[in-house]
Amino acid sequence: MSAATNRATGAPGGRLAGVYRAKALPASRQRSLAGRYAWPFQFLALAAFAWAFLGWLNETWLFVGDNPIWLNRYTEYAIILGFGVWRITAEQNPYTKKRLIVLVSVVSVIWWLIPWLFPFFEPYVGYPGAQPAFPDLHRPGTISFFVVLAAVLLFGRRVICGWGCPCVGIRETVGFAFRHNTLRGPWAWRLRHSKWAFFALYLAAGALLMFPPNAWSASYLGIFGLIIVLPYFASMLLSPLIGNRGYCRYLCPYGATFGILNRVGFYHLDFDGDSCNDCGVCDQVCDMGIPVLGLGREKGRIDVADCMGCGRCVSECAHGSLAFHDVRSVLSPAVVRNRGRLRAWASGRLPTARPQAWAFAGMLALSLAASWWFSGAIGGENELPTLLSSASLCLAH
């Protein structure tokens, strides 16, 4: 066992302390342990963050041109696709590479192409806003939001945060250059509670959406929107100081919502203290600053609301001491989702890997085709929710 201590928890470990700043890495070979990159590369990443912010500013306040794709709210997704192709090519961890393929595909199809090319209103439980909602996986009241909540209960935050959220999309691609700045240590870990203040504001917004809008609630929702969006972009621009996951760690009310279900549902990481040699790699690769080793030693599992299920720690633990646990573990307890299994899946060696890849590609194609049909055949305005609410009223009677 290492004589060094884990910086976050005081638990044994931390052999790798200082590895972040030790060596500059070539941008063409990216690994789970964060390293420094050359300053022109960091400058390019910061410029891409600023460009994404400008796109949102232009659509909201500046109105330069006619919301061109290179300067509107979808610009961020185009940037994710561009940087994503480079990240996927350069990533050395096969499991993270697979995750990036899923993440960039979901952002490109579900968050970008569908709302941009085939906008339509998604049915709401409550009173909708004035923008096309689909696929508003984050907006309380939408059908897809509740579907995501149910999935998080079964599989943890990985169904959205680790694998499908555009916020992580831009931070995993553009923000990769700033991973070595991730805040760590006891104070950085305690600061995670700040997100519950944003969660409280979010609950109030969700409750207001259930009632007909009035002047007061419209003002609150407008201010709440700014409270979400401005820190979202500010945390990108602060990445050189705080690392690439500042928003997810400290500010995101959606992440807090999903985190509660992470905590009370089936998801956690199993920890095998007998095989663990306290090397500290799991702590070092976690961009959420979670003291994985300390929690494992203390509780025998990692079941915090903050784990977004990226799998970096699991897929890098050479001793197989960490494993994903979710509803599938209850149904098939003999299957251990540790490093060996994750890497076998990512390399296509598991029999289920290929059918799953085809099912995923088919799901994206089906979503695109169905959105085209909804938008063209049913209409891009209010027909869809009207039809569906009428159908549900019929069923209710």
Binding residues (CB under 6 A) for ligand SF4: these are 13, 160-161, 165, 167-168, 247-248, 252, 254-255, 276-282, 285-286, 288, 290, 292-293, 296, 302, 307-313, 317, 319, 321-322
Give me the phi and psi of 123, to 5 degrees please.
-60, 140
Shortest spacing between CB 43 and ligand SF4, in angstroms:
24
Beta pairing class for 268-271 and 322-325 = antiparallel
Residues 6+ apart with CB under 8 A from 105: 360, 364
Beta carbon nearer to ligand SF4, 48 or 292 = 292
Shortest spacing between CB 212 and ligand SF4, in angstroms:
28
CA distance 301 to 266: 12
Shortest spacing between CB 322 and ligand SF4, in angstroms:
5
**Which residue is closest to ligand SF4 by CB?**
255
Beta carbon nearer to ligand SF4, 281 or 346 = 281
Shortest spacing between CB 115 and ligand SF4, in angstroms:
16
Tokens of 286: 């976690």
> Are the CB atoms for 381 and 130 separated by under 8 Å?
no
Shortest spacing between CB 214 and ligand SF4, in angstroms:
29
Shortest spacing between CB 95 and ligand SF4, in angstroms:
10
Residue 41 identity (one-letter amino acid):
F
Could you give the C-alpha distances from 141 to 6, 138, 161, 206, in angstroms and in order? 42, 9, 19, 7
Shortest spacing between CB 132 and ligand SF4, in angstroms:
20
Shortest spacing between CB 15 and ligand SF4, in angstroms:
9
Beta bridge partners, 269, equal 302, 324
Beta carbon nearer to ligand SF4, 346 or 384 = 346
Shortest spacing between CB 388 and ligand SF4, in angstroms:
26
CA distance 135 to 367: 10
Instruction: Please provide the DSSP assignment of 174-233 as one string.
Output: GGGGGGGG---SHHHHHGGGGHHHHHHHHHHHHHHTTS---HHHHHHHHHHHHHHHHHHH
Beta carbon nearer to ligand SF4, 67 or 277 = 277
Beta carbon nearer to ligand SF4, 46 or 281 = 281
Beta carbon nearer to ligand SF4, 78 or 137 = 137
Could you give the C-alpha distances from 311 to 20, 47, 95, 171, 226, in angstroms and in order? 19, 29, 8, 16, 32
Beta carbon nearer to ligand SF4, 219 or 275 = 275
Per DSSP, 123 falls in state P
- Reported residue count of the chain is 397
Beta carbon nearer to ligand SF4, 55 or 280 = 280
Beta carbon nearer to ligand SF4, 110 or 290 = 290
Tokens of 57: 């500013």
Tokens of 21: 């700043």
Name which of 55, 75, 74, 148 is nearest 115 in CA terms.
Answer: 74
Shortest spacing between CB 327 and ligand SF4, in angstroms:
17
Beta carbon nearer to ligand SF4, 183 or 388 = 183
> Are the CB atoms for 388 and 123 separated by under 8 Å?
yes
CA distance 221 to 205: 6
Per DSSP, 266 falls in state S
Give me the phi and psi of 124, to 5 degrees please.
-110, 150
